[in-house]
Structure 1
Amino acid sequence: MTTETGGMEAFYAVVSNVSDFIWGGQWNGETVLVLPPMVVLLLGVGAWIMIGLRFYPILKLGEAFAGLFKKDKDGKGEISPFAALSTALSGQVGTGNLAGVATALTLGGPGALFWMWITALFGMALAFAEGSLAIRYREQRADGTFQGGPMNYIRRGLGKKWTWLAVLFCVGTLFSSIATGNMIQANSVSVSITGMTGVPTWAAGLLVALAVFIVIIGGIKSIGSVAEKVVPFMAVAYLLMALLALILNLEDLPASFALIFNSAFNGMAATGGFLGASVMMAIRAGVARGLFSNEAGQGSTPMAHAVAKTDDPARQGRFAMMGTFIDTIVICTMTGLVLLTVQGAFPAGGGTVEHVWNSDLRGFEMTLAAFNTAFPTLLFGSTSIGGFVASIALIMFVFTTLLTWSYYGERAATYLFGQKIAIPWRLLWVVMIFVGALQEVDFVWRMGDIANATMAFPNLIALAVLSGVVFALAKGHRNAGRDHD
């Protein structure tokens, strides 16, 4: 083994240990904390805000959907509230909904899906807080455009003495945007394109990079315009295909639900390719993958909601919480149920197993195998119509995620270095898509877990401190809270 190889392996080991500690309370495979730091912080702040709101996000969910297409005639902003929701969703709905759910089941078993639901329910409270604060503390620049997000509600809502926290959030956002918003997405989409067309991975990465550049060069209005057209269409198409897969395997659905709840509270013995064997593994995998998927509490989506044409913080907060519900409770659940319900012959330990989640397959390969098995009619080679729709959905979801996260990273970069960094950032973004397409998937996912935590930590602190303002905004007090300009 060369010194260079040994150095890289040591680096990978450190990354793995840091990720395990943040999300699992483990170091070198040994449990050092019973309750992992990010699990405590994420669920703790989410529960605090949910209780303080008196379960407003759940009670007002119907009202949020009912107001989806109502216009705020007097609202200021750059894009419609629906376009802002679509833009936020385009960042939320990505590889986490297809490949991330599979990874959660591999690491934590079927119980991980239950803990994804719990994360999403508390996440709806966090999302409401983020969306409402984004409107309350956003700023209008000299050129008439708007900007907002955690860096704004930290500085304007908490005061200058908290500037360090806004800077920490921006640094975390740059880290997270490159790792989770770029490299993980690019890796998944390049594998999918290569699997469908046979083109080399580098060529797939180059193609995606060019397509993204064409859109992001036009800024948030261009991104919002594409997102509100692509995201709803692909989400509906994917959900219909998943629903049909479940209907075809309806008799196995009750057993799948029983498996989810049993695994969530009792754990499962590892068999086949399944790695997780404890309740803590299910919690860790469910919360980590849940955050990666819906981004509630991470601080990314309020940057999109901040530019919505509305002057009502609570209304945009309801849009924000609706995004979390759609992403995890609807789309991730459908993916998870397909993975648990569809039966076939899947590779595991030199033999085969009956269920794909218990196989040696990983990530999107697992999801693709499930959809291919559910729809045996061939379309292209060994890919069924279900597998084809899943592949196209992944490509389009990841494409729009790459668009939105370029904006999130740009917002952090311009906050730290000024508007002059915008174009260089967009060019760097395109280059990193190509780089990410060529990376090892396991390492990239580990880096993504660390990146999410570095971004979520300062945002969750701000949400907890500003929770009183959130409670007042929910009651209709649009100017609640103090401005520290």
Structure 2
Amino acid sequence: MFNKLLATITAVFVASFSAFAQEAEKTVSERVNEIMGPVSEAISAVVFFELPMGWLIDGAPGIPMIVIWLLGGGIFFTVYMGFINFRGFKQSLKIVSGKYDDPDDPGEVTHFQALTAAVSATVGLGNIAGVAIAVSVGGPGATFWMIMAGFFGMTSKFVECTLGLKYREIDENGVVSGGPMYYLSKGLANRGLPNLGRVLAIAAAVICIGGAYGAGAMFQTNQSSMQFTNEIVAMTGGVDSVFYDRPWIFGLVFLSFVGLVIIGGIRQITHVTEYLVPFMAAIYILACLVVIGTHIEAIPDAISQIFAGAFTGEGVAGGIIGVLIQGLRRATFSNEAGLGSAAIAHAAAKTKEPVAEGLVALLEPFIDTVVICTMTALVIIVTGQHQVAAAGDGIVLTSAAFATVIDWFPKILTVAVILFAFSTSITWFYYGQRSFLYLFGNNKKADLVFKASYLLTIFIGSAMALGPVMDMADALLLAMGVPNILGLFLMRKEVKSMLQDYFARLKSGEIKEVSS
């Protein structure tokens, strides 16, 4: 009798709690979207202020000024630095392979660890969901402009990470602090512009914190929870599944694992990323090659569509301008070139040579955009999914493209998405943390406040609609380029002088390999 009574009470309690939880979920999701939706719109309106193009091409949409700013900076630095993205590529591979690693050099992590940490922040859902959105909205031609943005972005990364290492600070415990906050304030002060340097440094730190919340926390958990929930619901009872319409469950689990890693700081983060990034990238690239290989006969046509679409914009609203905007916007979001964020990770590298770390950094846009983004785009184009899926479906579109060849791959993609999102979130935590502590002091109280707020933002992101999350993530991330590119331009001669000196010493034999 007691057991039956207990079972009845338990059943009633579970049913009541479930009903309450469902209502609470709806309330939380609705309230989050009601509050964050207008905020997202306001931020996007400022950052994505558009230069009208209708006077040039009928029906053309405006080009966001931030895209012109970042791409223009990349083109300028590429020419000014003598196409270092080409001529320094071989040396960058030697450095990252460990040939110049000296364990006695100041810093916290190796060149390879710094690279994987920075790549973990860029190789993520932007490569999967972002590319799909660009191709579905802008057509195959958007791929060409993504590649161009990646190519020029390599030099922007070189410049900012060279300065990031030169102007870093190392405390008595060996903990490194670096990034745009430091090279903007200290570098411009050296040029007689201390007030401008302080203003730009504070702006960079504030925007970086916003980027950590938007792109590192909210966007990652939003897209990965969507993918996870879709797949797990299908395997656990559909609408009757405990996970159905409950992305917040994933949000709680996700933030718990992020919390476990971020406790250890950059050393713990790089210990995770140096194994996780190559592993997940290898799985994803292998799957891409399988899909592309089974459609090998479609490759010539896909390449033709990419080039034709890049310069005609056929079938795309706004024509060539619309294609260009989609490609550049998504590529910039993905590789973060010109934003200064990667300099925070590279500043921790064990080296005395700022230029060496700058050369390591230029590999990031190549890996992220020229290789991985291009492969994702080819998978979508050769399978024809950009023509049958709804525009802007993001990760769902990419998953459908893989499923046309590997019907079980969406399950693997679910794991890959979560790993990509996880690695991006932990690295962007570090970026945001360094910026937060720069503003509020390097103390335990400030550190605790940022950790708690970052984890809370992860949870909020899991409950938001995709549209506001995508717009806010884009805006907060790309806005970092405003103070950063200006600072890089003002310090361009300093970087070029260091570059020339480095290669002169390399040629003379003064800089030698430590290991072979």
Same fold (TM over 0.5): yes
For the residues of structure 2 that align with 1:15 and 1:461, how far apart are their CA atoms?
21
For the residues of structure 2 that align with 1:397 and 1:43, how far apart are their CA atoms?
26
Per the alignment, do residues 321 and 133 of structure 1 end up closer, same or farther by CA in structure 2, a change over 3 Å counting? same
Match of 2:479 among 454, 461, 474: 454
Look up the equivalent residue of 2:320 and give its one-letter code: V
Per the alignment, do residues 20 and 132 of structure 1 end up closer, same or farther by CA in structure 2, a change over 3 Å counting? closer
Look up the equivalent residue of 1:334 and give its one-letter code: M
Is 1:155 equivalent to 2:201 in the alignment? no
Match of 1:285 among 326, 334, 338: 326
SS of the aligned residue for 2:463 comes to coil
For the residues of structure 1 that align with 2:419 and 2:465, how far apart are their CA atoms?
22
User: What's 2:400 paired with?
Assistant: 369
For the residues of structure 2 that align with 1:278 and 1:127, how far apart are their CA atoms?
30
Per the alignment, do residues 371 and 182 of structure 1 end up closer, same or farther by CA in structure 2, a change over 3 Å counting? same
**Do the aligned partners of 2:332 and 2:478 also contact (CA within 8 Å) in 1?**
no
**Do the aligned partners of 2:334 and 2:368 also contact (CA within 8 Å) in 1?**
yes
Question: Following TM superposition, by how much is the alpha carbon of 1:7 offset from its aligned partner in structure 2, in angstroms?
Answer: 9.1
Q: Residue by residue, what CA displacement relative to the aligned partner does 1:210-246 show, whole Å, maximum 9, x if unpaired?
A: 0000000111111111010100111011101101100
Over the matched positions of the two proteins, sequence identity in percent amounts to 34
User: What's 2:49 paired with?
Assistant: 21
User: What's 1:469 paired with?
Assistant: 494
Q: After superposition, where does 1:182-201 map in structure 2 within 5 Å?
A: 182-198=217-233, 199=243, 200-201=246-247
User: What's 1:61 paired with?
Assistant: 89
Look up the equivalent residue of 2:447 and give its one-letter code: A
Q: Residue by residue, what CA displacement relative to the aligned partner does 1:429-483 show, whole Å, maximum 9, x if unpaired?
A: 11111110110101111112211232111011111111111212222359xxxxx
Q: TM-score, normalised by structure 1?
A: 0.88
User: What's 1:481 paired with?
Assistant: none
**Do the aligned partners of 1:99 and 1:363 also contact (CA within 8 Å) in 2?**
yes
**Do the aligned partners of 2:291 and 2:405 also contact (CA within 8 Å) in 1?**
yes
Bigger shift: residues 100-109 or 301-310? 100-109
Look up the equivalent residue of 2:490 and give its one-letter code: V
Is 1:397 equivalent to 2:426 in the alignment? no
Q: Residue by residue, what CA displacement relative to the aligned partner does 1:248-298 show, whole Å, maximum 9, x if unpaired?
A: 01111111111111111111224xxxxx44111111111111111011111
Question: Following TM superposition, by how much is the alpha carbon of 1:65 offset from its aligned partner in structure 2, in angstroms?
Answer: 1.8
Look up the equivalent residue of 1:173 and give its one-letter code: C
Gaps of 5+ in 1: 271-275, 344-354, 377-383, 479-485
**Do the aligned partners of 1:102 and 1:357 also contact (CA within 8 Å) in 2?**
no
For the residues of structure 2 that align with 1:461 and 1:10, how far apart are their CA atoms?
29
Q: After superposition, where does 1:113-192 map in structure 2 within 5 Å?
A: 113-159=143-189, 160-161=194-195, 162-192=197-227
Look up the equivalent residue of 1:369 and give its one-letter code: A
Is 1:307 equivalent to 2:348 in the alignment? yes
For the residues of structure 2 that align with 1:102 and 1:216, how far apart are their CA atoms?
30
**Do the aligned partners of 2:61 and 2:318 also contact (CA within 8 Å) in 1?**
no
User: What's 1:406 paired with?
Assistant: 429
SS of the aligned residue for 2:390 comes to coil
Question: Following TM superposition, by how much is the alpha carbon of 1:191 offset from its aligned partner in structure 2, in angstroms?
Answer: 1.0
Look up the equivalent residue of 1:177 and give its one-letter code: A
User: What's 1:351 paired with?
Assistant: none
SS of the aligned residue for 2:480 comes to helix
Match of 2:410 among 380, 387, 393: 387
Count of residues in correspondence between the two structures: 449
Match of 1:232 among 272, 278, 287: 278
Match of 2:369 among 302, 306, 328: 328
Look up the equivalent residue of 2:494 and give its one-letter code: V
For the residues of structure 1 that align with 2:35 and 2:266, how far apart are their CA atoms?
41
Look up the equivalent residue of 1:254 and give its one-letter code: P
Per the alignment, do residues 419 and 23 of structure 1 end up closer, same or farther by CA in structure 2, a change over 3 Å counting? farther
Look up the equivalent residue of 1:371 and give its one-letter code: F
Look up the equivalent residue of 2:121 and give its one-letter code: G
For the residues of structure 1 that align with 2:453 and 2:39, how far apart are their CA atoms?
24
Look up the equivalent residue of 2:188 and give its one-letter code: L
SS of the aligned residue for 1:374 comes to coil
User: What's 1:243 paired with?
Assistant: 289
Match of 1:108 among 131, 138, 147: 138
Bigger shift: residues 448-457 or 287-296? 448-457
Per the alignment, do residues 375 and 423 of structure 1 end up closer, same or farther by CA in structure 2, a change over 3 Å counting? same
Question: Following TM superposition, by how much is the alpha carbon of 1:312 offset from its aligned partner in structure 2, in angstroms?
Answer: 1.0
**Do the aligned partners of 2:95 and 2:111 also contact (CA within 8 Å) in 1?**
no
Question: Following TM superposition, by how much is the alpha carbon of 1:357 offset from its aligned partner in structure 2, in angstroms?
Answer: 4.8
Q: After superposition, where does 1:192-271 map in structure 2 within 5 Å?
A: 192-198=227-233, 199=243, 200-270=246-316
Look up the equivalent residue of 1:368 and give its one-letter code: S
Q: TM-score, normalised by structure 2?
A: 0.82
- Larger Rg: 1 or 2? 2
**Do the aligned partners of 2:63 and 2:325 also contact (CA within 8 Å) in 1?**
no
Bigger shift: residues 15-24 or 243-252? 15-24
Look up the equivalent residue of 2:228 and give its one-letter code: I
Q: Residue by residue, what CA displacement relative to the aligned partner does 1:70-121 show, whole Å, maximum 9, x if unpaired?
A: 2421421001111110000110111100000011113322111111111111
Per the alignment, do residues 6 and 48 of structure 1 end up closer, same or farther by CA in structure 2, a change over 3 Å counting? closer
RMSD over aligned Cα, in angstroms? 2.4
SS of the aligned residue for 2:315 comes to coil
Gaps of 5+ in 2: 1-30, 234-242, 504-516
For the residues of structure 2 that align with 1:209 and 1:6, how far apart are their CA atoms?
23
For the residues of structure 2 that align with 1:473 and 1:136, how far apart are their CA atoms?
10
**Do the aligned partners of 2:50 and 2:63 also contact (CA within 8 Å) in 1?**
no
**Do the aligned partners of 1:25 and 1:36 also contact (CA within 8 Å) in 2?**
no
User: What's 2:23 paired with?
Assistant: none
Per the alignment, do residues 409 and 23 of structure 1 end up closer, same or farther by CA in structure 2, a change over 3 Å counting? farther
Question: Following TM superposition, by how much is the alpha carbon of 1:389 offset from its aligned partner in structure 2, in angstroms?
Answer: 2.6
User: What's 2:80 paired with?
Assistant: 52
SS of the aligned residue for 1:67 comes to helix
Look up the equivalent residue of 1:370 and give its one-letter code: A
Look up the equivalent residue of 1:72 and give its one-letter code: D
Bigger shift: residues 17-26 or 120-129? 17-26
For the residues of structure 2 that align with 1:20 and 1:154, how far apart are their CA atoms?
24
For the residues of structure 1 that align with 2:333 and 2:376, how far apart are their CA atoms?
15
For the residues of structure 2 that align with 1:151 and 1:35, how far apart are their CA atoms?
28
SS of the aligned residue for 2:49 comes to helix
**Do the aligned partners of 2:95 and 2:101 also contact (CA within 8 Å) in 1?**
no
Question: Following TM superposition, by how much is the alpha carbon of 1:179 offset from its aligned partner in structure 2, in angstroms?
Answer: 0.8
